[in-house]
Amino acid sequence: MIVIVSPAKTMQVEQEVECTPLPFPYKTKLLVKTLQSYPTEKLQTLMKISAPIAQTTFDRFQTFTTAGKGSYALEAYQGIQFQQLQNHRDKMAYANKHIRIVSGLYGLLKPYDVIQAYRLEMQCKLKVQHAKHLYEFWQETLSVTLQEQLQLYEKPVIVNLASKEYSKAFLPSMQKQMLTIDFVEVVEGKDKRNSMTVKKLRGQMLNFILQHQIDQVHDLQTFVYDGFHFAKDRSSNHVYTFIKC
């Protein structure tokens, strides 16, 4: 079982741990080199961000290094999803075996890979070599890598906790082996999916998985949080739905 999660735009990187080898050195270095050639104004337009954020992004790429120190990926990301996590350094071996973070810059990270601060969303329409955007740049690499890694497991299943933006980076090639997690709040008979609530629930489920070191997908059915629970009648082999009525 491999659990796939999205990264976060908000990051806090402390220069505390020696950098680990890049998962895909050629591709990451190519992206960095390409982005280093972009002036601040072009980054702002490309990424649709404010001038101050564009300046910070520019500075980060200009000083980007793979030889210095950084932070563990699981601790560097600071978004709502990652704010739900406890300290899981005592479960580092389990986490690195079962959890993967999809990244526009790094491709596919283990939780305790050491990374630098950056900003590069997967939906960014960055043209690199023959690729028109990052989906095209990463899709084959991620699909092949996940297929290879799945062969190491007795039950080769990908638990998709990622957003649609990041799931698109390895779909549709992985569809047959994928179990997608869906969180639904039923309000006046209608299904609602609030983005902030969903991000929080993804983080809570990830924390649950790490805390209990889950390696069987059916054990995910026991997850409950803030009224959300597994709905057997709305679930299938490829989708687990958790609802709150």
Domain range annotation of the chain: 2-244
Residues facing 51 on adjacent strands: none
Q: How far is CA 27 from CA 72, 107, 171, 195, 242, in A?
A: 20, 8, 20, 31, 37
* 11-65 pLDDT, tens digit each: 999 888 998 999 999 999 999 999 999 999 999 999 999 999 999 999 999 999 8
Q: How far is CA 32 from CA 29, 40, 193, 205, in A?
A: 5, 14, 35, 32
Question: Of 190, 177, 188, which is closest to residue 217 (Cα–Cα)?
Answer: 177
Looking at residue 99, what is its pLDDT?
98
- What backbone torsions phi and psi does residue 228 show, to the nearest 5 degrees? -85, 135
Question: Of 161, 233, 241, 165, which is closest to residue 203 (Cα–Cα)?
Answer: 161
Looking at residue 19, what is its pLDDT?
86
d(CA 205, CA 181) in angstroms, rounded, equals 10
* pLDDT per residue rounded down to tens, the chain (245 residues): 999 999 999 999 988 899 899 999 999 999 999 999 999 999 999 999 999 999 999 999 999 988 889 999 999 999 999 999 999 999 999 999 999 999 999 999 999 999 999 999 999 999 999 999 999 999 999 999 999 999 998 889 999 999 999 999 988 788 889 999 999 999 988 999 999 999 999 999 999 999 999 999 999 999 999 999 999 999 999 999 999 99
- pTM here is 0.95
d(CA 9, CA 124) in angstroms, rounded, equals 13
Looking at residue 243, what is its pLDDT?
98
d(CA 108, CA 167) in angstroms, rounded, equals 12
Contact 223, 233 (CB under 8 A): no
